[in-house]
């Protein structure tokens, strides 16, 4: 169990909390965070590596004039800022809509010691 969650459940020492596996609600939270984190990292790395590749491989192209904007380098720089804001906004929106409810369910599971979503699945 992650150290920051051990105090909530009263468990310490083992990754699985001594139950052999994580509760279903915690597994869903872990999977959702992993998906969004991986996608975010890929987009950020592609953006910045792409920019550095342009600087290294096509510096003359970045110096080309764009009427009203200076050079292509300024346009690319503005696009990088836009990508950063879009990624931040998307992450926060996704976190508040999808991750926060999963966090709440995992907290409740760890607090009460029972996984209501696991019990619902077992009853079906």
- Is 9 domain-assigned? no
- Is 86 domain-assigned? yes
- Is 17 domain-assigned? no
Structural domains of the chain, count: 1
Supply angle C-alpha 30, 44, 52, rounded to 5: 150
- Is 1 domain-assigned? no
pLDDT for 38-61, tens place per residue?
999 999 999 999 999 999 999 999
- Is 11 domain-assigned? no
Can you give the residue range of the structural domain that contains 28? 23-117
- Is 16 domain-assigned? no
Cα–Cα distance, 100 to 87 (Å, whole number) = 18
Q: Is the pLDDT of residue 101 over 90?
A: yes
- Is 80 domain-assigned? yes
Band (pLDDT 50/70/90 cuts) for residue 64 is: very high
- Is 4 domain-assigned? no
**Which is more confidently placed, 7 or 113?**
113
**Which is more confidently placed, 21 or 61?**
61
Count the Cβ atoms, other than its own, within 10 Å of residue 71: 14
Residue matched to tokens 């003359």:
60
Residue matched to tokens 């950063």:
84
Residue 5 neighbours by CB under 8 Å, 6+ apart = 106, 110
At 68 the pLDDT is: 85
Of 74-78, 96-100, 111-115, least confident by mean pLDDT is 111-115
pLDDT for 76-99, tens place per residue?
999 999 999 999 999 999 999 999
Least Cα distance to 73 among 81, 65, 82 occurs for: 65
Cα–Cα distance, 11 to 29 (Å, whole number) = 19
At 4 the pLDDT is: 52
pTM of the model: 0.64
């Amino acid at each position: 169990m992650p150290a920051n969650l051990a105090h909530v459940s009263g468990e310490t020492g083992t990754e699985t909390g001594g139950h052999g596996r994580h509760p279903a609600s915690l597994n869903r939270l872990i999977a959702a965070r992993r998906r969004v984190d991986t996608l975010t990292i890929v987009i950020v790395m592609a953006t910045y590596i792409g920019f550095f590749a342009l600087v290294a491989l096509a510096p003359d192209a970045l110096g080309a004039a764009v009427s009203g904007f200076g050079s292509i380098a300024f346009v690319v720089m503005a696009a990088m800022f836009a990508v950063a804001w879009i990624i931040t906004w998307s992450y926060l929106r996704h976190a508040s809509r999808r991750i926060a409810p999963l966090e709440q369910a995992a907290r409740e599971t760890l607090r009460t010691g029972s996984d209501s979503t696991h019990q619902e699945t077992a009853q079906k």
